Structure 1
Amino acid sequence: MEVVASKTRKGKLLPANGVFSSPVFLALSLQLLAFVLSYLLYAADRWQFGSLLSPYFLLAVHAGIAATLSFLLGMSWWWWLIQFTFPFAVVASLVFQLHPGFSLSIFLLLVLLFWSTYRTQVPYFPSKSSLLPCILEQLPARNDLRFIDIGSGFGGVSISLAKMRPEQSFFGVEVAPIPWLVSWLRAAVLSKKLRFYLKDYLELDFADFDVVFAYLSPVAMPGLWEKVRSEMRPGAIFMSYEFKVPGVEADLIIKSNLNDPDLYIWRI
């Protein structure tokens, strides 16, 4: 564990909002554009060469265009994968004549598992175990400490910390139903001082917590910082793993291992 930097500068930034800034809207737009371009290639091939290109080649071109455009526009790597596999999945469902109920079941499962990705543009990021000692070292030792992990996923961070500090209270908040249910069941077995909420963290009052931990995404950080500054009490601690607040230097930057992301800490 290494302290990378220790500086302070408070700041303020506003997030960009709107339907047209959503990665989902952008992904669908790129799929449509890829379809148009691949169809133009099909039409040109049919007109000039008598349908020399195979349908599978055109399908690969469609997928490649969608994935390449996603990369060029700076979308995250999981979107490249989704964009590339989506047209193949659609064609496969038609070729194998999958029952509509099967497709619906898969869709509902993905919605329940990745609902937070669609709503908040924040994908699921599992935290590394090497992060826990870094967090633990920064937590005050008092018994009435209240810690919350926003976007807690399956609850790994809060559950692990609760085992190390059973006298303190640990919470998590998650909007995706399946990860929340798993973490809620684990908490029900382990400790009364461990609790997980199924809701958006924007509905919480950060003044109720002494430490707020986040492992979200660059998209969420400006708006999250505004909430931190307006609600957290003086002396409270805000932690962000890997993603820093744009334009706002952290009071402390810690790296657990050489190849691990940084843990950014702000003291309010």
Structure 2
Amino acid sequence: MLQQILRAPALKAILIQVLAFPLMLLLVYGLARASVAMSLPAVALVQGVLAALITWRAGLARWWCAIGLLFAPALLAASLLDLPPAVFLAAFVFLLSMYWSTFRTQVPFYPSGPKVWQAVAELIADRPGVRLVDIGSGLGGLVLDLARRRPDGQFSGIELAPLPWLASRVRAGLAGSRARFLRGDYEALDFGRYDAVFAYLSPAAMAALWRKAEREMLPGSMLLSYEFQIAARAPDKTIAATEGGPLLYIWCF
């Protein structure tokens, strides 16, 4: 457990901010010695740029570079706005309920879109009574769309973050959909119960996903991954679901 925490990108991002801080001080000091004065926003931006560069060199995913760049300027902006503490508390609770699983799973919130849903619908068109699960289903768009298109099928989503899971349940209830949404970790699922498993996760999660799929998926089933490939095995099929966008990868068992 401790090793997993130490490998977490969120912890690395915090340590990178700590590392960037003395470098920023040295740079600002050097500029001051050269009679170049810097405003507080400029200092925060320098901290962000240094953190983003270190993040990139450390090989973290690209969104961590953006987080590293914006972290210090955002803190400064928040302090200058002098907002009531309740605003920060509300923002914290919202972000926690939306992304709280990211620290452990290394999978941020990635929504797919209608063109991807259409591509998935075409892939399962010749499977009567198809059973599909979306692991990390977010707001439930794919599952709700497929359940509407295919009343003969069984479509489920599983989501660890509380707010997206709740939103998907509410959406299904309001639409009168037969789609099912579970809250939990997809590791607890048995992939052998499904004809197709759809994933839009992150590069960090793909190796573990493939190991689980190899153990549990049955002959004739499919693993679908939008944007992210599996290093251990080339896909059996690739679809350009969106023009100029990420690809949809398919592995057949």
Please, what TM-score do these two structures have when normalized by structure 1? 0.85
**2:250 aligned residue:** 265
- The one-letter code of the counterpart of 2:162 is P
1:189/1:57 Cα in 2 relative to 1: closer, same or farther (>3 Å)? Answer: closer
**2:148 aligned residue:** 163
Query: Aligned partners of 1:267, 1:60: CA distance in 2, in Å?
Result: 47
Query: Aligned partners of 1:225, 1:49: CA distance in 2, in Å?
Result: 55
How do residues 131-146 of structure 1 correspond to structure 2 at under 5 angstroms?
Answer: 131-139=116-124, 141-146=126-131
Query: Aligned partners of 1:98, 1:257: CA distance in 2, in Å?
Result: 41
**2:66 aligned residue:** 81
Residue identity over aligned pairs, in percent, reads 38
Which structure shows the higher helix fraction? 2
Deviation at 1:257, TM superposition (A): 4.2
Deviation at 1:263, TM superposition (A): 1.5
Q: Which moved more, 1:123-132 or 1:208-217?
A: 123-132
How do residues 90-105 of structure 1 correspond to structure 2 at under 5 angstroms?
Answer: 90-105=75-90
**1:213 aligned residue:** 198
**1:130 aligned residue:** 115
How do residues 21-32 of structure 1 correspond to structure 2 at under 5 angstroms?
Answer: 21-32=7-18
The question of whether the paired residues in 1 share the 8 Å contact of 2:147 and 2:177 is answered with no
How do residues 188-203 of structure 1 correspond to structure 2 at under 5 angstroms?
Answer: 188-191=173-176, 193-203=178-188
Unaligned runs of 5+ in 2: none
* Superposition RMSD in Å: 2.2
Count of residue pairs brought into register by the alignment: 251
Deviation at 1:166, TM superposition (A): 1.1
**1:252 aligned residue:** 237
Pair 1:242-2:227 in alignment: yes
Deviation at 1:136, TM superposition (A): 1.8
- The one-letter code of the counterpart of 2:14 is L
Pair 1:118-2:109 in alignment: no
Pair 1:178-2:178 in alignment: no
Query: Aligned partners of 2:42, 2:150: CA distance in 1, in Å?
Result: 57
Please, what TM-score do these two structures have when normalized by structure 2? 0.89
Q: Which moved more, 1:252-261 or 1:199-208?
A: 252-261
Deviation at 1:42, TM superposition (A): 3.9
1 or 2 for the larger relative contact order (CA 8 Å, sep ≥6)?
1
**1:41 aligned residue:** 27
Q: Deviations over 1:57-92 (max 9, x none)?
A: 322211111122223333333222221221122223
